[in-house]
Amino acid sequence: IMMHCQSGVKKGIDKGGNPIEVMGMLLGRPDPDTPKTLVVTDAFPLPIEGFETRVVADDANVVNHMIQLGECLEATRNEKFMGWYHSHPFDLGDHSHCFFSQTDLSTQLQWQRAEDPHGNPFVGIVVDPLRSIHQGVPELKAFRAYPPEYTSPIENECPNGTIDLVEQKRLELWGSCWQRYYELEIEFFMSTHANKVLQQLTQDYLWMRTLVQRDPDYGKTLPEKLKKATQPILTATSSARASEAPGGMRIAGSSGVSVNTESVKKTVDQVVALANEEVKTNVLDGVKKQVFSASK
């Protein structure tokens, strides 16, 4: 889902315009063990694009694509279409753009009327790709629409269940139809096999992520840090020699010798740590060059 939504951002910008909205279908099922819980197991992009608050699958080719895809999945998978997703790649602001527009609400109602009576509660997910990129984590929310005849008994209740007395804030956060839909809680899960793979990757390659995120100017200041770190070694060595008795015997128990020994040990540890970081930086730079040169 995130890759599809972010591809719409890139495609629109590459064309010299605004980010493009995209849309797709969700595959899954109601959870038989947990009431009122919907499980999304997969997602499939649709060949549809839009702008602003309008992205609708009303083209004949798109409808045929959905029908053929649905029939293929029913023959090969135990799940079926149980939701849809689309992106809101609006300008990055103070608030998330995960909300239902009037068009989104109409689309969601159509799906619910068609699928809910058959035991397939339909869900809609909205993704804010620009905010996701900015924060480095997925920014998405799941919604369902109230029936047209429903009226909330709580005045000024927002889709997430909070009460906001300021109308302008409600409109900014939830759109003009804020009182016609409600938000669902989202939890992420993965299979046991996928979890083991992720743990192994994190264990083996987390240091690479740390190095990539480090300040790029760090490598430039490393030589100076090494110079400062090695300077105490010379001082400590000179002090140790000065404390030796004639004949080259070191005075055991001397506080001066003890302090100098600890100073040398601490300094060597600092040099080793800095040297290790320098080696990792050089290795990573070499990997980057190989990867990027191979991709050209």
pLDDT of the residue at 265:
55
Q: What is the dihedral of CA 228, 229, 231, 236, to 10 degrees?
A: 150
Check whether residue 69 and residue 52 sit in a common domain.
Answer: yes
Residue 89: φ, ψ to 5°: -85, 55
Nearest residue to 133 via CA among 26, 254, 19: 19
94 and 237 in a single domain? The answer is no
Distances (CA, A) of 103 to 40, 201, 221: 23, 42, 55
Task: Give the separation between CA 257 and CA 240, rounded to whole angstroms.
Answer: 6
Q: Is the pTM of this model over 0.85?
A: no
- pLDDT at position 273 is 64
pLDDT along the chain (296 residues), means of 10: 91 87 93 91 86 54 82 88 94 90 94 94 96 88 95 92 93 94 92 77 54 50 57 50 40 38 56 60 56 50
For the chain, what is the domain count?
Answer: 2
Residue 14 buriedness (CB in 10 A; 0-12 / 13-18 / 19+)? exposed
241 shares its domain with 134: no
Do 142 and 266 fall within a single domain? no
pLDDT on residue 275: 60
Q: Same domain, yes or no, for 236 and 143? A: no
Burial of 225 (0-12, 13-18, 19+ CB in 10 A): middle
CATH code of the domain containing 161: 3.40.140.10
Among 189, 220, 237, the domain boundary falls at 189
Do residue 178 and residue 233 come from a single domain? Answer: no
Verify that 114 and 173 share a domain, yes or no.
Answer: yes
Token pair belonging to 99: 């909300």
What pLDDT was estimated at residue 276? 60
Nearest to 141 by CA among 202, 183, 87, 187: 183
Q: Residue 280, SS3?
A: helix
Structural domain boundaries, residue 224: 196-295
Q: Are residues 37 and 57 in the same domain?
A: yes
Same domain (yes/no): 179, 284: no
For the record, the structure tokens of 149 come out as 């005849």
Euclidean distance between CA atoms 253 and 256, whole angstroms: 9
Q: Does residue 106 sit in the same domain as residue 172?
A: yes
Residues 126 and 224 in one domain: no
Residues in the chain: 296
